[in-house]
Amino acid sequence: MTPPARLSAAIEVLADIAARRRPAADALKDWGLAHRFAGSGDRAAIASLVYDALRRRASAAWIMDEDSPRALVAGMLRLQYGLAAPTIAGLFSGERFAPEPLSEYERSRLADATLADAPDHVAGDVPEWVLPALAKTFGPALLDEARALGRRAPLDIRINTLKHSREAAMGELNHLAPKATPHAPNGLRIPIGEDGRGPALHVEPEFLDGWYEIQDEGSQLASLLSGARPGETIVDLCAGGGGKTLSLAAMMNNEGRLVASDDDPRRLAPIHERLRRAGAQAEVRTPRGGRARTDVLGDLDGTADRVLVDAPCTGSGTWRRNPDAKWRMRPGALAARVNEQAAVLDRAGALARPGGRITYVTCSLIPDENDAAIAGFLSRTGEAFRVIPATEVVAAAKPDLAPFVRFTDHGLQMSPALTGTDGFYVATLERRSGS
């Protein structure tokens, strides 16, 4: 496919997303099935155009004075790719498979419009209703952080230390041109191309042999900050597909008792194969669905040295990877997540032994899901728990991380601009002895 034809395809996919209000991945998959002549390179290029247009949706619409799919693509080419108006006009030629020619007004907007007078939610490409929450989190750095959320995310892997050290793996993975991640001690960063594509890591022999897992550096750091140690009893309460379970198993060196569970049995489906591949030992407890649902962790109440709560959240910290999600998010979804977070924190509180700790993690930048969730838990549990200051947690686990996180009332916040990671929040609670 020619570059103009790819633009037309991206416009078509964006129109489908807008009309049916569904995830970009679903629309892209359907487009590929309906256009089997498009090769893998074409599909990847179209996906990059679509996601970049969604990253710059508000600012592109401002530049073009219109929010149609066509306008979003044209505005994105100017803002994200830095193309000049004549170059964009050459792509919008109206020739075979190319988008229709630009109007005089479109040309003038591309040539002269700026973001100088755009409101913050437009300049930062975030939903207007979320802006106050982000401003509370970031303060004067709001626009820098919002713009960082609009950039492409890096491609990180975590070396499985049950099988290899990072140093040894780096040599063996030299063909991927990896570099050590800035903060995570077992992470490697893999270069991606100009089209946003990285190598197919999931088919590499080293992946199949369990040498590494694909995991954002922020997620790796969240696991590290749990302080998991060999010989402990640890419960991964919201284990999902098992990414952090695998991190914990490596930290524990497969020594102790690691129990992984999740309220949704479907999310646990991939964990068994991932554990096998990694050589990681964990006991997976899968609840029954429907009316027969029972508490599969009741026998562990009051016994856990550590409980990891990777809480369900809005995912606002992952908007670099899922730019369409920020435009589909609604206030009602936030309220639902806050209720779920309270429930899993309360369950974690019952699991922790006296002196045991809870590590609460979200991939959110919204205070309602972070410090406010911790404050709510403390109010519900009276004097039973205390917050371990995040400064102490960082000093014990990774002292050189301190300048690259924001310390909050009850925890810490990682972010794309400051930390170079997805937007993870981490707080640590300890059950008081005798409670």
Q: How far apart are CA 120 and CA 336, in angstroms?
A: 27
pLDDT at 292 over 70: no
pTM above 0.75, yes or no: yes
DSSP at 321: T
In this structure, the strands spanning 233-236 and 304-310 are parallel
- Domains and their CATH numbers in the chain: 3-118 (no CATH), 155-214 (3.30.70.1170), 217-431 (3.40.50.150)
Which band of pLDDT confidence, cut at 50, 70 and 90, is reported for residue 293? low
Query: Is 262 marked within a binding site?
Result: yes
Backbone angles phi, psi at 421, to 5 degrees: -125, 180
For residue 396, what are the contacts with CB-CB under 8 A and spacing of at least 6?
227
Residue 434: pLDDT band by 50, 70, 90 thresholds? confident
SS3 content of the chain, % helix, strand, coil (to 5): 50, 15, 35
The number of beta carbons lying within 10 Å of the beta carbon of residue 365 is: 32
Region 302-311: what's the mean pLDDT? 97
Instruction: Compute the average pLDDT of residues 8-21.
Output: 94
Residues forming beta bridges with residue 212, ordered by sequence position: 159
Residue 199, pLDDT score = 87
- Residue 42 in marked binding region: no
* CA 185, chain centre distance (Å): 19
Which tens digits make up the pLDDT trace of 182-203? 999 999 999 998 777 788 899 9
Average pLDDT over residues 128-144: 96
Q: Which of 73, 246, 284, 363 is catalytic?
A: 363
Strand pairing partners for 359? 308, 428
Would you call 313 a catalytic residue per the annotation? no
pLDDT at 41: 87
Q: Where are the beta strands (DSSP E) in 174-232?
A: 179-180, 187-190, 212-214
Kindly list the distances between the CA atom of residue 257 and the CA atoms of 223, 273, 284, 302, 311, in Å, as whole numbers in the listed order: 16, 19, 11, 14, 21
